[in-house]
Amino acid sequence: MIEVNNIPNKGRGIIATQDIPQGTLIEVAPVGIFSIEKIPNINETEIFKYYFVKPLEYGKSKNLNGYIVFGLASLCNHAENPNARVDWIEDEIGLWSHLIADKTINKSQEFTLLYTNIDEYADAKKFV
C-alpha cells in the first residue's frame, strides 16, 4: 500500500504503491509525549524535524505538549493542501496516532500533512 522513498528537495517521504481511497486508515502508531518545558531542548536536536503538536493546542494552550509518533506519520512531508491527516486517539494503554487518507491518494502520489507549527521552521519555504 505504501513505501518510503526519497522525495526531491524534501528528503524521505511516504508514497502510495496503489490507489488509496479517502478515509482509509493507513497506520496506527504509538506516541511519546513531552511537555512544553522540554520543547526548547528538543528544538536543538534532530528530533525537531519529527515531532508534532496538536492543532487544537497550538497557539491556544499554555500546556502545549510535543508528540513523537513512532510510525509513518513522522515521515510525511508538509503541504498547504494535504491529502492525509493524523487523528490523536487516547485509550487505556496510551496515546496513538492514526494516519488517515483525507482524500483519495493515487498510486505514486506522496502522502502529505499540514504541519501545524510550520512557522517554527527556519527554512519553512522548502516545506511549501
| CATH number of the structural domain spanning residue 59 | 2.170.270.10
- Model confidence over 38-71: pLDDT tens digits? 767 777 777 767 777 765 665 666 667 788 889 9
- pLDDT average, residue stretch 23-40: 87
**Is residue 104 in some structural domain?**
yes
CA dihedral sign of residues 28, 34, 40, 41: negative
Lowest-pLDDT range of 14-28, 67-81, 111-125: 111-125
Q: Which domain holds residue 84?
A: 2-121
- Work out how many domains the chain is built from and give that number: 1
